[in-house]
Amino acid sequence: MNDKKHVVTRRDFLRSGSCAVMGSLFGLPLVGRAATQTTQKSRVVLIRDQKASDGYGALNERAVVEMLDEAVTVLLGTADPASAWRRIAKPDDIVGIKSNVWHHLPTPQELENAIVARLVEVGVDGQNISVDDRGVDRNPVFEESTVLINIRPMRTHHWSGLGTLLKNYIMFVPQPWMYHGNACERLGAIWQKPHIRNKTRLNILVMLTPLFHGVGPHHFSRSYTWPYAGLIVSADPVAADATGARIIQVKRNIHFGEDRPISPRPLHIEAADKKFGLGSSHPDRIELIKLGWDKNSFI
């Protein structure tokens, strides 16, 4: 261990009086920012519609697609969804949509289909669009991609604390387990690889029925999901993940009736900000725009 380096410990949180949010991301003052960080705020759109889902496995396709369109439009400040999608991809782009197939809580196919449809509508050749997860490292569309769109549901995770947009790119490396060290802290390094860097135009964190707690090898029980009925959309994966993490933390505290930090602490979100300069994890540097249903939004 580097003796000169400040090691973050529980004492830092106790000193700042933020023990209650130890599992989240806004307990400590920002230190050691990456050189690439700017003072500009990252825009994050949180959109919810009570009709989108009334529980695990239930999804109202029309409501969800409308949420996606509205969120993208507001995120990019355009007049309509088509204009927004034209800013995400041009007709000659090759687009990889990085999905997530974890069978307990996969990316909804309805959202995947909607993204493909919008891309085709703005002129992208259907043959130049691919949706994939486990096969991205050998998928020719992803190999040739000029644009990436990242979409996955939010969930807790045994080793990284949270399954996040940042973590979703772990399948782009041949040996994902090499990034499991220290609670997957170095996931941000994957985003700096040449075949990934600067390609991601849109990040969508699916919060329709997030998983806020998990136990055992399968880490899933539907009793630990709830119909939040939301999407978090941003160009900044760190800001989107940090926003989702705050919601999960509040839900855990409410459900368990006590402070129940996300465990292990999702170090990779902070590290993506402070070490890898991929975005903003601190709410002070996030412009959060909330749309739609606001009851129990937890943020």
Q: And the tokens for 59?
A: 């999804």
Count CA atoms closer than 13 A to 193's CA, side-chain side.
Answer: 16
Task: Tell me if 215 contacts other proteins by CB under 8 A.
Answer: yes
Rounded to the nearest whole angstrom, what is the least distance from the CB of residue 230 to other proteins in the complex?
24
Rounded to the nearest whole angstrom, what is the least distance from the CB of residue 161 to other proteins in the complex?
9
DSSP string over 85-145 = HHHH--TT--EEEE----TTSPPPHHHHHHHHHHHHHTT--GGGEEEESTTGGG-HHHHT-
Task: Draw the binding track, 4-23, toward other proteins (x: CB under 8 A; -: no contact).
Answer: ---xxxxx--xx-x-x--xx
| Rounded distance between C-alpha atoms, residue 75 and residue 21, angstroms | 28
Q: Are 281 and 237 in contact (CB under 8 A)?
A: no
Task: Tell me if 184 contacts other proteins by CB under 8 A.
Answer: yes
Q: And the tokens for 81?
A: 């969804």
Rounded to the nearest whole angstrom, what is the least distance from the CB of residue 9 to other proteins in the complex?
4
Nearer Cβ to other proteins (177/298): 177
Task: Draw the binding track, 32-71, toward other proteins (x: CB under 8 A; -: no contact).
Answer: ----------------------------------------
For binding to other proteins (CB under 8 A), which residues are involved?
1, 7-11, 14-15, 17, 19, 22-23, 102, 157-160, 176-177, 180, 182-185, 215-219, 221-223, 261, 263-265, 267
